[in-house]
Amino acid sequence: MRIAIADDDPEIIEFLGQIVEGLGHVYSGYADGTSLTNALLRDTFDLVILDWNMPGKTGMQILEWADGAIEDRPPVIMMTSRTSKQDVSDALNAGADDYITKPEDKNVIAARITALLRRNNGASAMEPTAEYGDYLLDRIEQTVRHGEKEVALTAKEFELADLMFRNRDRTLSRRYIMETVWRTNAHLATRTLDMHVSRIRSKLALKPENGFRIFTVFGYGYRLETLGNGG
């Protein structure tokens, strides 16, 4: 998973980043609210850990902005030193999914991150097999069946197909796909990613009559859309 951490204290970003990496995820740190909002417009994240008091935009301003500005807003943990019940209520009512008061034990923070990611992404992401319409994905064997036919995919093609099915109807940035499937922060050649998308589109016959299509969001990434009998 990709997690954004916004805090004006670099030591807090490093502390939270170590927790995130210890859970097997990747993170990007932002020292002010404006940097975070710019990142949310151009990239995809599975979770945001948000400080309240930051330069540029405050955490509350970001919550209010995100509801109208981001189509698929990621879940948000507000992590702040503000402790009043009114502050907690205000943040949750503004759209925060959880609220952590600083300082907090790292094991508690890790558990809250894991719980929110699990709740947001659904238990099916961890199951060995998953069914989407007429498509059956076996994550152990890394195979896909479309109806009665087994479709031969390479390891990367399967990972890309699995990622897109798990995130169907959600727009994924190129960087998100790159870091999730290729597990690298290096720039992936556009041709490489486009080629893999084209291959799974063709091999899996992802077209309207089969319930799904891959939609290109120019300048950003891709979205697997559910159509008709897609599940």
Least confidently predicted of 112-126, 157-171, 188-202: 112-126
Listing from the earlier edge strand, what are the strands of the sheet with 2-6? 26-30, 2-6, 47-50, 76-80, 98-101
Residue that wins the pLDDT comparison between 188 and 1: 1
Q: What's residue 125's pLDDT?
A: 54
Which residue did the predictor score with more confidence, 3 or 228?
3
pLDDT at 107: 95
Ramachandran quadrant class, 142 (left: phi over 0; alpha: psi -120 to 50; beta: rest)? left
Average pLDDT value for residue range 176-197: 79
Residue of 117, 116, 107 whose CA lies nearest to 19: 107
Query: How many C-beta atoms lie closer than 10 Å to residue 19's C-beta?
Result: 18
Q: What are phi and psi of 131, to 5 degrees?
A: -115, 130
The residues, ordered by sequence, that sit 6+ positions from 32 with a Cβ below 8 Å of its Cβ are: 6, 8, 54, 55, 56, 57
CA-to-CA separations, 42 to 2, 45, 70, 164, in angstroms, rounded: 14, 10, 10, 18
- Distance (Å, rounded) from C-alpha 69 to C-alpha 178? 24
Instruction: Give the integer Cα–Cα distance in Å for 31 and 36.
Output: 8
When pLDDT is cut at 50, 70 and 90, the band that residue 182 belongs to is confident
Tell me: pLDDT of 122 over 70.
no
State yes or no: pLDDT of 13 exceeds 80. yes
Rounded CA gap, 202 and 184, in Å?
26
Amino acid in the structure at residue 89:
S
Q: What is the per-residue pLDDT for 103?
A: 86
Q: Mean pLDDT of all residues in the chain?
A: 89
Alpha helices in the chain (DSSP H): 10-22, 33-42, 59-69, 85-94, 106-121, 155-166, 174-177, 190-203
Taking the C-alpha atoms of residue 223 and residue 231, their distance in angstroms, rounded to an integer, is 15
Range 210-223 average pLDDT: 92
Dihedrals phi, psi of 41, to nearest 5 degrees: -75, -25
Q: What percent of the chain has pLDDT over 70?
A: 94
What is the average pLDDT across 103-123? 87
Structure tokens at 163: 């990622």
pLDDT tens, 77-104? Answer: 999 999 999 999 999 999 899 999 998 8
- Give the C-alpha separation, 184 to 176, whole Å: 10
Mean local confidence (pLDDT), 184-192: 66
| Amino acid in the structure at residue 120 | N
Residue 165: predicted pLDDT: 94
Residue 229 has a pLDDT of 61
- pLDDT tens, 14-24? 999 999 999 98
Q: What is the pLDDT of residues 33-46, one digit of tens each?
A: 999 999 998 888 99
pLDDT at position 231 over 70: no
Task: Determine the pLDDT at residue 24.
Answer: 87
